[in-house]
Amino acid sequence: MVTPTDARPTAIMSDPTIAHPKLASLLAYWQQRRGSRTMPARADIEPADLKTLLPNIFMVDVEYAPFRLRYRLIGSALVDVLGHDIKGKYLDEMPLLFRTFAAGAYEEVLKVQGPCYKEVKGIAAYFRVAYKRLLLPLSTDGQTINIILGAIYRD
């Protein structure tokens, strides 16, 4: 469990005050790509447009039958932090501490069906945890989230 020393509540959809310029630019890109829709599709996202953000970006496939979350893409900076590549792994295959941080975040974006930004600072299992995270839903049909696009930057 995280013991927060300085945590801000999650900012949702309408006006998340994003303290990290690269996360703010990712949100602006997502908003531009969605247009008048609730959320863009994966086909609307061009990796070349996100070149400077790619090391910190990840994508999670949302499977519904049965419900599971699978890591589709993990940026190189995140691989460095984790110590190994988790591409192709399911969330339920990850260590407990990892699942503890990730599961609630993914549940939140699935519930809100919009951007979720959070700043985390605290201690977890004797480790200092400090990062800023943005999660963005993607949907092929405009209603059901089938991919979560995210980015994390460590403090």
d(CA 92, CA 71): 11
In a domain, 48, yes or no: no
For residue 124, the enclosing domain spans 3-37+54-154
CATH number at residue 113: 3.30.450.20
16 or 60: which leads in pLDDT:
60
| Tokens coding 113 | 């069906």
- Are 113 and 145 within 8 A, CB to CB? yes
In a domain, 148, yes or no: yes
Beta bridge partners, 116, equal 12, 135
Task: Give residue 8's pLDDT band: very low, low, confident or very high (50, 70, 90).
Answer: very low
Report the predicted TM-score, pTM, of the whole model to 2 decimal places: 0.85
In a domain, 94, yes or no: yes
Q: Name the DSSP class of 90.
A: B
Q: Any idea which residue has 């200092």 for tokens?
A: 128
- CA–chain centroid gap for 48, Å, is 19
Q: Name the DSSP class of 84.
A: S
In a domain, 49, yes or no: no
In a domain, 77, yes or no: yes
In a domain, 42, yes or no: no
In a domain, 47, yes or no: no
Tens digit of pLDDT for each residue in 78-94? 998 888 889 999 999 98
In a domain, 81, yes or no: yes
Total domains in the fold of the chain: 1
